[in-house]
Amino acid sequence: MHWIAPTPDPDADRITRFPTVPKHIAIIMDGNGRWAKQRGQQRIAGHWEGANRVDDITTECAKLGVSYLTLYAFSTENWNRPAAEISMLMQILIHYLKTMEKKLVQNRIRLIAQGSVERLPLNARKQLDRTQEKTADYAPRMYLNLSLSYGSRQELLDATKQIARKYADGELSLDSLGENDLKNYFYQPHVPDPELLIRSGGESRLSNFLLWQAAYAEFFVTETLWPDFREASLHEAINYYTGRERRFGKTSEQVRPSENSFAEESNS
Ligand code: IPE
Ligand code: IPE
Ligand code: MG
């Protein structure tokens, strides 16, 4: 597929409400099962309600001028869940892709996916291909990157194998391989690292998500369960992000030179 850089619309809402909006937001959508249990319902009811939030949050991110939204929908470890739950999750995925298609096109959102998607059942893979094709015709405003059968360790292993193969074929010199080159072997090499990583459901762990890419992401964990994660929760996460000082290993004075010079002046 030919890669086109996303061009978010300038949005008045965004400018007045948030001084900075992350270019790439990644979300671990957790808590569907607990949400259902709290209501005395089957876990699957939580997954259905969670799918509605995928719709809302995707649309809101595009509206706010986010360029990339990566959602953790199904992990490599989730294959260990009961077969009936996995099967229902696949049905929900197919249903979601079918019903979201029109809206994705209307909003100029392009669907991409990352993970060992070849492990998905054939009907899910077919629908995934269809929706990707249908949303590939325009210059996108935002990329929706669905993590399906995704595991970061598997992604790193796959990348390592590709590099080893290239090296063995004499197509690669190891000395020339830098940190940024490693990324070229990931599932979605064009997608930049996320600046903001959100996890709903209260757990402070990565669960094998974007281990390499999240090296400098700001981590926002909320107790809110995914089916309750509405636009206001997203705004809260962006506000949290806005308030962070991103130092990337430097000192505060280095990243805020204006305040630093003020401190120096008052010292003299
Ligand atoms: C997240 O919700 C969805 C998937 C992992 C597919 P869970 O199903 O993990 O919900 P909890 O954590 O059991 O509440
Ligand atoms: C992480 O949630 C995976 C997804 C949200 C798709 P899990 O519910 O699988 O994570 P753990 O098992 O609690 O770490
Ligand atoms: Mg969970």
Q: Give pLDDT tens digits for 236-264.
A: 999 999 999 999 999 999 998 887 665 55
Nearest CA to ligand 2 atom 1: 207
Residue 147's identity, in one-letter code, is S
Task: Report the pLDDT value the prediction gives residue 36, as an integer from 0 to 100.
Answer: 98
The neighbour count for residue 262, using CB atoms within 10 Å, is 11
Q: Is the pLDDT of residue 268 over 50?
A: no
Residues 226, 202 contacting (CB under 8 angstroms) = no
For residue 84, report the distance from its CA to the centre of ligand 3, in Å.
16
CA distance 263 to 268: 9
Q: pLDDT digits over 47-78, tens only?
A: 999 999 999 999 999 999 999 999 999 999 99
Question: Per mean pLDDT, which range of 1-5, 13-17, 103-107 is the poorest?
Answer: 13-17
| Annotation says 52 is catalytic | no
At 205 the three-state DSSP class reads: coil
At 219 the three-state DSSP class reads: strand
For residue 24, report the distance from its CA to the centre of ligand 3, in Å.
23
Q: Sorting pLDDT into bands at 50, 70 and 90, what band is 1?
A: low
* Nearest ligand to the CA atom of 150: 2
Q: Is the pLDDT of residue 26 over 70?
A: yes
Q: pLDDT digits over 189-231, tens only?
A: 999 999 999 999 999 999 999 999 999 999 999 999 999 999 9
Nearest CA to ligand 2 atom 13: 207
| Annotation says 169 is catalytic | no
Burial class (CB in 10 A: 0-12, 13-18, 19+), 161: exposed
Q: Which of 42, 53, 57, 61 is nearest to 228 (CA)?
A: 53
Identify the residues whose C-beta falls under 6 Å from ligand 1: 29-34, 74, 78, 89, 201
Beta bridge partners of 28: 72, 199
Average pLDDT over residues 131-151: 97
In ligand 2, the atom with minimum distance to the C-alpha of 147 is 6
Q: Sorting pLDDT into bands at 50, 70 and 90, what band is 13?
A: low
Looking at the whole model, is its pTM more than 0.85? yes
In ligand 1, the atom with minimum distance to the C-alpha of 78 is 5
Q: Is the pLDDT of residue 17 over 90?
A: no
Task: Report the pLDDT value the prediction gives residue 202, as an integer from 0 to 100.
Answer: 98
The mean predicted confidence, pLDDT, of the chain is 94
**Is 203's C-beta closer than 6 angstroms to any atom of ligand 2?**
yes
For residue 25, report the distance from its CA to the centre of ligand 3, in Å.
19
Burial class (CB in 10 A: 0-12, 13-18, 19+), 165: exposed
Beta bridge partners of 75: 150
